Amino acid sequence: MAIATRISGGMVVTPEGTAQADVLVGEDGTIAGLVSAAVEVGDVGRVVDATGRLVLPGMVDVHVHTREPGYTHKEDITTTTVQAAVGGVTTIFGMPNLDPPTTNRERLDDVLRQYAEKSLVDYNHNPAATDPDAIDAMAKAGVRAFKIYMVVDTGRTYPHPAGTGMHDHGHLLKMMDTIAPTGKRFIIHPHDQALMDYIEGEYLARGQNTPEAYASAYAAREGVIWDTAIDVVLRLAEASGCPVHIAHMQTRRSIEAVRRAKARGLDVTCEVNHWALFLSTWSDVETLGPYALSYWVPDDARAAVWEGLNDGTIDIISSDHAPHTREEKEIGWTKMWSCHTGTPGIQYYYPLLLDAVVQGKLPLARAVDAAARTPADAFGLGRRKGRLQVGYDADIVIADMDSPWLISNDGVLSRCGWTPYDGRSCRVRIERTLVRGSDVYADGTVVGKPGQGQLALGD
């Protein structure tokens, strides 16, 4: 096989460990070999020097809000995947809270068509599982998972629009029974709506509608709204045999519940988002207000999250990239329940995670497993993506692990134009990102083109 690219001199992260090697990329966009520098290879198209750099698999981000169609004033597929390329993300899974929400095959086909025209990186999509009669047809379109929100927004209609939510336990079990035969994974945003109605109602009755009040309500009683919902999800998953994936892990009890469920053999995976690790302190809430929310994670809960990520109970990192305009955020200073919650994150999550490796917060192998191998395996892409291994797609990131820089709003590529990490220092810099062997980002420049991405199909 002719070799299109030889990535030479780097420390390569493989399933077997990290070692100095050259990565050979075939003309078909797959990894053709991992060889020592001394091995001569004829007919090489180009050589990329990675001396002194880390060579690792691209991130597989299964939780991304592209906002297209319907909310392109916030973001779109192209701007999302430009950020992905810069941030070392080589595959994204979009979310269904769009307009119209992705609830049937016709809408799904339209979304996939738009990805094919506009994405710089590979992609899939998680349609909303609200209509049992629509599941089979959507499963046959090549999706790897379905999504549901166990929440109804109070005081706003977004980011959880009508058509994407389900919190009745009977309906949830019926949907699990419907999804289970497809073999797809069911992504669930956990939320105990009845408890939340009571808890947030108490705050609003007292006239407390600030970021601090909102943060306190959602973390109230050690995160009871999350814990009870996750307990229900785990029990129904066990009863139905449906593989589930739990979003937004952020409490100690929830992590312990998932740990016990895994020990029983339940097919459950779960994720931690960028804000829970890097943007969830009380100081963040006080200083950034609506720009930090998402959610507040108290210190003891955050310690449990880091512990769960280290020991593998939390399998996966996913960005939950959720951009909103400044206008949609500013209202939150005085009317937080009317504010669109969520934060942009896909451009900076992998660098921040690798920076945490440099700081000794988790091992490199664990970080790469959580970012690449495990999401690929859990979502049925494990024979093509998530590893630097012969025969796999050459989805490759080259990173300088000691090149300090400052995150700033000036470098933000999101349409929203801001990042909650403005002013944050990071030691790790992504220098190059390849998708199936082709550069999409190199030496500070986005070189990928809309339409370069392909649908990431299952094993």
Q: What confidence tens digit (pLDDT) does each residue in 134-144 have?
A: 999 999 999 99
Taking the CB of residue 267, how many other CB atoms lie within 10 A of it? 16
pLDDT at 154: 67
pLDDT > 90? residue 274:
yes
Q: How confident is the model at residue 159 (pLDDT cuts 50, 70, 90)?
A: confident
- Any idea which of 26-35, 36-45, 368-377, 425-434 has the lowest mean pLDDT? 36-45
pLDDT at 157: 77
pLDDT at 1: 66
pLDDT > 70? residue 71:
yes
pLDDT > 80? residue 256:
yes
pLDDT at 295: 97
The full set of domains in the chain, from first to last, is 3-55+389-446 (2.30.40.10), 59-378 (3.20.20.140)
Farthest CA pair distance, the chain: 74
What 8-state DSSP symbol labels residue 58? P
pLDDT > 80? residue 459:
no
Q: What confidence tens digit (pLDDT) does each residue in 399-438 have?
A: 999 999 999 999 999 999 999 999 999 999 999 999 999 9
Query: Distance between CA 448 and CA 214 in Å, rounded?
Result: 40
Q: What confidence tens digit (pLDDT) does each residue in 85-100 have?
A: 999 999 999 999 999 9
Q: How confident is the model at residue 339 (pLDDT cuts 50, 70, 90)?
A: very high
Mean pLDDT, residues 107-121: 98
β strands within 299-428, DSSP E: 316-317, 396-400, 405-406, 425-426
Task: Extract the tokens encoding 435.
Answer: 């998708």
Q: Give me the phi and psi of 272, to 5 degrees please.
A: -125, 135
Mean pLDDT, residues 43-69: 97
Instruction: For the chain, report the end-to-end CA distance as a whole number of angstroms.
Output: 23
Q: Which residues are CB-contacts of 111 (< 8 A; sequence separation ≥ 6)? A: 69, 94, 98, 102, 125
pLDDT > 80? residue 456:
yes
Q: Are 416 and 75 in contact (CB under 8 A)?
A: yes
Of 156, 158, 154, the residue nearest 96 (C-alpha): 158
Chain centre to alpha carbon of residue 4:
30
What 8-state DSSP symbol labels residue 384? T
Q: How confident is the model at residue 129 (pLDDT cuts 50, 70, 90)?
A: very high
Q: Are 154 and 211 in contact (CB under 8 A)?
A: no
Query: Distance between CA 29 and CA 435 in Å, rounded?
Result: 8
